[in-house]
Amino acid sequence: MVKPFVPQLVYVEPRALEYPLGKQLVDKFEGMGIEIRQTTSHNQIRNLPGENHFQKYRTAKSTLVVGLRKTLKFDTSKPSAEYAIPFATGCMGHCHYCYLQTTMGSKPYIRTYVNVEEIFDAAEGYMRERAPEPTRFEASCTSDIVGVDHLTHTLKRAIEYFGESEHGQLRFVTKFAHVDHLLDAKHNGHTRFRFSINDDYIIKYFEPGTSRLSERIEAAVKVAEAGYPLGFIVAPIYLHEGWKEGYHEMFEKLEAALPAFAKRDLTFEMIQHRFTKPAKRVIEQNYPMTKLELDESKRKWKWGRYGIGKYVYTNQEQEDIKDTLGSYINRFFPEAKLEYFT
Ligand code: SF4
**How confident is the model over 284-302, as pLDDT tens digits?**
999 999 999 999 999 999 9
- Average pLDDT of the chain is 96
Residue 101 has what pLDDT?
Answer: 82
ipTM higher than the 0.90 cut = yes
Ligand 1 within 6 A of CB of 82:
no
pLDDT number for residue 328: 98
Task: Report CA(153)–ligand 1 centroid distance (Å).
Answer: 19
Per-residue pLDDT, 41: 83
Q: Which of 262, 180, 80, 219 is nearest to 210 (CA)?
A: 219
pTM for the full predicted model: 0.96
Say if residue 65's pLDDT is above 90: yes
Verify whether ligand 1 is closer than 6 Å to residue 95 (CB atom): yes
Would you say the C-alpha torsion 66, 67, 72, 76 has a positive or negative sign?
Answer: negative
18 CA to middle of ligand 1, Å? 30
Q: Is 91 in the pocket of ligand 1 (CB under 6 A)?
A: yes
Report the alpha-carbon distance of residue 90 to residue 221 in Å, rounded.
Answer: 26
Whether ligand 1 lies within 6 angstroms of the CB of 336 is answered as: no
pLDDT value at residue 245: 98
User: Is the distance from CB of 212 to CB of 192 less than 8 angstroms?
Assistant: no
For the cut 90, the answer to whether the pLDDT of residue 221 exceeds it is yes
pLDDT tens, residue by residue, 10-61: 999 999 999 999 999 999 999 999 999 999 887 788 888 999 988 999 999 9
Percent of the chain beyond pLDDT 70?
99
pLDDT of residue 57: 93
Q: Rounded to whole angstroms, what are the CA distances from 165 to 134, 136, 145?
A: 10, 11, 21
Residue minimizing CA distance to atom 1 of ligand 1:
98
Ligand 1 neighbour 39 (Cβ under 6 A): no
330 — pLDDT class (breaks 50, 70, 90): very high
Q: At residue 79, does pLDDT exceed 90?
A: no
Sheet architecture: strand order including 35-38:
35-38, 9-12, 63-67, 110-113, 88-89
Report the candidate in 181, 128, 129, 118 with the shortest Cα–Cα distance to residue 152: 181
Q: 104: pLDDT confidence band, cut at 50, 70 and 90?
A: confident
* Residue 224 CB less than 6 A away from ligand 1: no
- pLDDT higher than threshold 80 for residue 304: no
pLDDT reported for residue 294: 97
* Lowest-confidence segment of 57-61, 105-109, 146-150, 218-222 by average pLDDT: 105-109
Whether the per-residue pLDDT at 181 is higher than 80: the answer is yes
Cβ neighbours around 257 below 10 Å, total: 14
For ligand 1, pick from 89, 98, 204, 282 the residue to mutate: most ligand atoms within 8 Å of CB. Answer: 98
Convert the chain into a string of H (helix), E (strand) and C (coil): CCCCCCCCEEEECHHHHHCHHHHHHHHHHHHCCCEEEECCCCCCCCCCCCCCHHHHHHHHCCEEEEECCCCCCCCECCCCCCEECCCEEECCCCCCCCCHHHHCCCCCCEEEECCHHHHHHHHHHHHHHHCCCCEEEECCCCECHHHHHHHHCHHHHHHHHHHHCCCEEEEEEECCCCCHHHCCCCCCCCEEEEEEECCHHHHHHHCCCCCCHHHHHHHHHHHHHCCCCEEEEEEEECCCCCHHHHHHHHHHHHHHHCCHHHHCCEEEEEEECCEEHHHHHHHHHHCCCCCCCCCHHHCEEECCHHHCCEEECCHHHHHHHHHHHHHHHHHHCCCCEEEEEC
Q: Would the CB of 236 count as within 6 Å of ligand 1?
A: no
Q: Which of 57, 101, 175 is the best mutation target for the ligand 1 pocket, counting ligand atoms within 8 Å of the beta carbon and taking the most?
A: 175
Question: Count of residues for the chain?
Answer: 342
Ligand 1, residue 176: give the atom nearest the CA.
Answer: 5
Cβ(144) – ligand 1 distance below 6 Å: yes
Residue nearest to atom 2 of ligand 1 (CA): 144
Answer yes or no: are the C-beta atoms of 257 and 221 closer than 8 Å: yes
Task: Describe the crossing of helices 315-332 and 243-257 by its angle, rounded to 10 degrees.
Answer: 20
> Does the beta carbon of 210 sit less than 6 angstroms from any atom of ligand 1?
yes
**Which atom of ligand 1 is nearest the CA belonging to 207?**
3
Nearest alpha carbon, ligand 1 atom 6: 93
Out of 89-98, 105-114, 182-191, least confident range? 105-114
Q: Does the beta carbon of 175 lie inside 6 Å of ligand 1? A: yes
pLDDT of residue 45: 85
pLDDT (average), residues 100-104: 82
Asked if the model's pLDDT at residue 308 lies above 90, the reply is no
pLDDT over 80 (residue 305): no
pLDDT for residue 171 = 98
State the pLDDT at residue 238. Answer: 98
